Chains A and B, each alone.
Chain A
Amino acid sequence: MVSAMRSIRTSAEATPPQAARTVLSVRELSVQFKLPHGWATAVDRVSFDLRQGEVVGIVGESGSGKSQILLSLMALLASNGRCSGSAEFEGRQLLNRPAKELDAIRGSAMSMIFQDPMTSLNPYMRVSDQLTEVLTAHQGKSGAEAERIAIEMLERVRIPEARRRVRFYPHEFSGGMRQRVMIAMALLCRPEVLLADEPTTALDVTVQAQILELIAELARDLKTAVAIVTHDLGVIARLCDRVIVLYGGRIMEQGTIDEIFYDPKHPYTKGLLASTPRLDEKAHGELKTIPGQPRAASGDLPGCPFEPRCPIRIERCKAEMPPLLAGASGRAVACHMSEAADG
C-alpha cells in the first residue's frame, strides 16, 4: 500500500531520525478516568520521543486511548481524568502542572488541532479575533500587526481572498476551510510541536488529502514536529516518518514507516494491515477483519490487551503483559510471540 500511495515525505527530505534533537520526551504516561465504580485506565505507561521535524503517527482503533495521550500533554483532560508519568518539553515538565505555567507553552511552542472543525471554532467570534488573540496573548503583538500576520497565515493555508474572509464567522466557511483555519491558528506562533487529533476524520475524502498535504508542507517549512493521532492507515502512510501502534492503551509496536508497513511484527499490526483494503489488489471476496471488538479501558487487566482477539495467543498472554522490547534502532514490539525485535 505504501507503494500505491506515494509518501509525501520522501526519504531524501525526511530528517534521519537519530540525528535530530528530541523536542518532546514522554515516559510512562498513564491516563485514567474516574467512573461510577472506580478508576479505569485508558492509557497504560506509554513512552515515546518526538524529534525535531519528524512526523510520528499514533494509530489505533476507537477507544485505544490515542486521543487521551495528546489531550494529557496539553492538560485538556476531562475533569474526571488524571494522568501520571512524565512528559518533558524543552526541558519543562508538562504533566500535572498549574494551568498558568502551561498557558505560556500552549498555543505558542506547542499547539493542537482537533478532529471536528465544525465545533472546534467559536461560532460567536470572528475568525480574525480567534486568530489574533493567539498572537496578542503570546507575542504581545498589536491588533493591526496580529491581523496582518493572521492574514498571511491564512493565505499560506490557501484560504482564497484571505483579507476579506478573515472577518467572517466560522459558519461561513466550509468544513475543509475551517480545518485550514484551525491549522493556521495552531501554527501562528511557529510551534516546535503540533499535536493533531484525527484532523481529517470529519472531512470529505477529497479534502482529506489536501489537508494532509498542507500539514506536511507547513511542518516541513516551519520545522515543526508533528504527532498525529488517527485510526486511518492511509493517513499514516501519507504523512508519517514513524508509527506507534496503540491498542487498549498500550503500545503494541513502533518503528519507522517502512518497518511497520513492510515488516510488521505484532499480530495486531499485521491484522490491521491485512484488513485494510488495497487499491492495487484485485477484489477477492470478503474483507479480512480482526475478529472480536476492542475492549476499552482494558489497561487494568493483567495480560496483553489484544489477547482475546489474537490469532497466535498462548496461555502466558492472558496472565502476563508482554513488555515493550526495544531494539537498537528504536524498533519495538510488545508481544510474547515475537520477542525478537529487529537487531
Chain B
Amino acid sequence: MSLRNNRAVLLAAAASVLLVAGLALALFWAPEDADQGFSQRIFYIHVPIALTAYSGFGWGAWKALRLLWTRESRYDLESYTAVHMGVIFGILTLVTGSIWAKISWGVWWTWSERQLTLFLVLFLFYCAYFMLRFSVESGPRRANLSAVYALFGVALIPVSFLAIRLAENFIHPVVFTRDGPQMSGSMFFVFCVCLAAMLGLFASLYTNELTGKRLDARLHELREALE
C-alpha cells in the first residue's frame, strides 16, 4: 500500500516540476513569434491540453476494450475515470482555444478553427456519455454500455475531423486563418516539455481520482459486510 502511495507522490511531484518548468519556458524562454507576438505563447498550453484530452479518450477506450474482452469489472472504473479526465481537459481546450481566438482575432468563437469545432462535437458526445451513465443503474449493464459508447467515441474522432475538413468547402470559409507554427528547434523543445507536463498532470489526476473511487467502493463493500 505504501509503495503505491510513493508512486503517486512521485508522479505528482514530477508533474508539478514539469508544469512549472514548462510554463516558465513557455512564458519567458521560448522565442517570440514574428506574426502573433506574445499571445502566440498560449499555443504551448492549448495544444498540449488538447492532445492530453485525446489521450484521455483513447485511454478510456482502451480500458473499455479490456472490459469487454475480459469482463473484469475494475476496468469500468478505469475507463470512466479516463473519460472523465478527458472531458475536463476538453473543457480546458475549449476555454484556452476561445481565449486564444479572442486575443488573436477579437472573437470568442470561430468555426474556422478545426480543432475547436472537433472538440465541441466530442464534448457533446462525451456529455452524453455521462447522461448515459447517470440513467442506468450501476452494475455490469452500465459498464457494458459505457464501454461500447467509449469505443464509438474514438471511432468518431477521426471521422469527425474528416467531416469538419470536408465541411469547410461549402460552409463559406471565414476570414480568419492561422498557419500552423513552423516550429524551430527551441520552440519544439518547449512544446515537448509542456506536453510532458500536461500528460503528467493527467496521469497524476487520473491516479488520484481512481484511488479515491476505489477507496469509496471498498468502503461501501465493508459497510455492507457489517450489516
Do A and B make up one complex?
Answer: no
Q: CB within 8 Å of A: which residues of B?
A: none
